[in-house]
Amino acid sequence: MTDATASTPQNSLLFPAFMYGDKTTCRRKMKAEAKKWAKCYGEGRPFPEPKLIPIPPGSVVFIDEGYSNWVGGGYSMIAPNVVNVSANPKGEGLNIQWRAYLLRDLLYEAELIPKLRHEACLAFRHAVVTRFWRFPWAAISATSIGVLSSIEFTTPRIEGVLQHWDALDTLRYIDFGERPISLTTFMTHNFDGNVAMWVDQPTGNIRIDLATAIAQMRKASDEEVYRRVVKRLGNLADIDKDLKHPEWLKSPGVIEAGIRAYRNNGQEWYDNLTSGAMHELGRFLVLLEQNYGPGSEHFDPSFGKKP
């Protein structure tokens, strides 16, 4: 048992100490933790467990750094004192101290320390996933790490949240707005694309639908994964209002040809599409338009029609 857990109640929800405090202090602690993780990884040793401290029920957790700076600075585009965090010891919503986004920053910082090659960075992230995603703090924190969108990385992250749902549901989260939201709202917003791609008959209960989604992902063949990716991209081309040439994207063979071109840049680029993450699929469609669509430098009317 670590010093951090020895004096706390057995059922306390624990988060890393480097996630608690003012921004400057947290970043200093995070960078020190990153150095330890990078050193252990480089020497082939297990990652050290970070010092953990209790996070009281009702605490508000920042998932997004931008909003932590905005709300933490006392700003609001809605109304004065709109953030209600009465359970936070600082009170009034202007000094929320829990910063889950720092796990994402820790990964980036650790990868820079040994100057890992790109391939080694992926291996490093995989090692972190397999070590920490069973902890509630790591599962919820990892929802902000956009580069971990493959099935391999997505399923343990969702599973970790589902396993600790009741405990994590005692907290509130600030992610895409100024108001603290429930875990249900947070997970629906961040993983609705995964449900849309992998659950054929959603129930509307995000816990049930996410469990179905990860079960489907894990048993899917490569052919089924590819089929679902193509189908979902086609559906998004119909509804994404930011796309300029949806009719071209929907032309026979265009999405499939785009996937082949995407995959040529590296298998991980395709893998990031496979879980159904909205940001990855949306980015793919935007890049496909920009690189090959009407008006682009490389536009070819026969794109997608070639054997």
Q: pLDDT (tens digit, 0 to 9) for every residue of the chain, 307 residues total? A: 233 333 344 457 999 999 998 888 999 999 999 999 999 998 899 999 899 999 999 888 998 877 776 666 655 555 554 444 433 434 444 456 899 999 989 988 888 887 777 668 878 888 888 888 889 999 999 887 766 789 998 998 899 999 999 999 999 998 877 778 999 999 999 999 999 999 999 999 999 999 999 999 999 999 999 999 999 999 999 998 889 999 999 999 999 999 999 998 888 889 999 999 999 999 999 999 999 999 888 888 888 876 5
Q: Which pLDDT score, from 0 to 100, does residue 133 have?
A: 85
Q: How far apart are CA 82 and CA 87, in angstroms?
A: 15
pLDDT at 122: 78
Report the b/e string of 222-251 with b at 16+ CB within 10 A.
Answer: eeebbebbeebbeebbeebeebebbebbeb
Phi, psi of 305 (to 5 degrees): -100, -10
**Residue 61 backbone dihedrals phi, psi, to 5 degrees:** -115, 130
Tokens for 86, please give them: 């009465």
| pLDDT value for 79 | 52
